[in-house]
Amino acid sequence: MNFIKAESYEALSCAAAEIIAAQIAEKKNAVLGLATGSSPLGTYACLSKMYAEERADFSEVTSVNLDEYVGLSAENEQSYRYFMNKNLFDHINIRPENTFVPNGCAEELAREAAEYDALIARLGGIDLQLLGIGLDGHIGFNEPAEFFTKETHVTELDASTIEANARFFARREDVPTKAITMGMGAIMGAKKILLIANGKKKREILEKAMYGKITPRVPASILQLHPNVTVIYSEI
Ligand code: GLP
């Protein structure tokens, strides 16, 4: 595992963007696994800037996002599809038809989940997966559990995750309690993983995940078994 300490959120974001840009420079048609949350916002801003400066070309890139809230449509400002369009896809030259986010409004969510895994398999897996980490150690929306789930699946969000996400919603009742998320199979199948953890509040869980026991109680701890993980963190 490769640890990079950044002096600020900006430095963390640009370091992550440089790694993503290097990936697509090396392989123009790379498959990027993308994440939401506040952590990658700066990374996406840096990537948008790099595109504007002609330092990154996304024309042949495909993206697959980790997760989506159940019940939120693409038009809902709190949906992860909306987030991705607004914060990244609208600012770069990725083809909209090459961007994938699980559909949280699918009539049959189990089928949507199976099709998402089939899509990732058809794409040949993920070249570089960007991850944030939840305060309870979740990655994507793989919440602490008794076992790791391999497949894309529907999950109940933990009380702490609902609490953490409430800041984005006008009313408490609007915060979704379920999500559809990539499982550990697709995440661990990525050729490279890039995890970003910003700020003091992530320090304790990051240490637990990277140096503690490998357990589904701390979902990100499974990353200790992956051969190519870069962690960029800042403590400010
Ligand atoms: C959400 C996302 C995760 C993300 C986490 C941390 O729960 N599903 O993918 O890593 O939040 O969010 P933040 O970066 O805002 O701390």
Could you list the pLDDT tens digit for every one of the 236 residues in the chain? 999 999 999 999 999 999 999 999 999 999 999 999 999 999 999 999 999 999 999 999 999 999 999 999 999 999 999 999 999 999 999 999 999 999 999 999 999 999 999 999 999 999 999 999 999 999 999 999 999 999 999 999 989 889 888 888 888 888 999 999 999 999 999 999 999 999 999 999 999 999 999 999 999 999 999 999 999 999 87
Which residue's alpha carbon is at the smallest distance from atom 5 of ligand 1? 134
The atom of ligand 1 lying closest to the CA of 132 is 10
The ligand 1 site (C-beta within 6 Å) comprises 35-39, 66-67, 132-134, 140-141, 161
List 68, 117, 143, 158, catalytic entry: 143
The atom of ligand 1 lying closest to the CA of 39 is 14
- Taking the C-alpha atoms of residue 230 and residue 194, their distance in angstroms, rounded to an integer, is 5
Element (H, E) at 12: helix 9-26
CATH number of 2-180+188-200: 3.40.50.1360
Q: Any idea what DSSP says for residue 123?
A: T
Q: Residue 37 Cα, ligand 1 centroid: separation in angstroms?
A: 4
Q: Any idea what DSSP says for residue 1?
A: -
pLDDT (0 to 100) of residue 201:
95
List 67, 112, 127, 158, catalytic entry: 67
Q: Residue 136 Cα, ligand 1 centroid: separation in angstroms?
A: 10
Q: Residue 124 Cα, ligand 1 centroid: separation in angstroms?
A: 26
pLDDT (0 to 100) of residue 165:
87
Active site residue 138: yes
What are the sequence ranges of the domains in the chain?
A: 2-180+188-200
Q: Residue 27 Cα, ligand 1 centroid: separation in angstroms?
A: 27
The atom of ligand 1 lying closest to the CA of 40 is 14
Beta partners for residue 34, in sequence order = 65
Which residue's alpha carbon is at the smallest distance from atom 6 of ligand 1? 134
Q: Is 224 exposed, middle or buried (0-12, 13-18, 19+ CB in 10 A)?
A: middle
> At residue 204, what are phi and psi to the nearest 5 degrees?
-60, -45
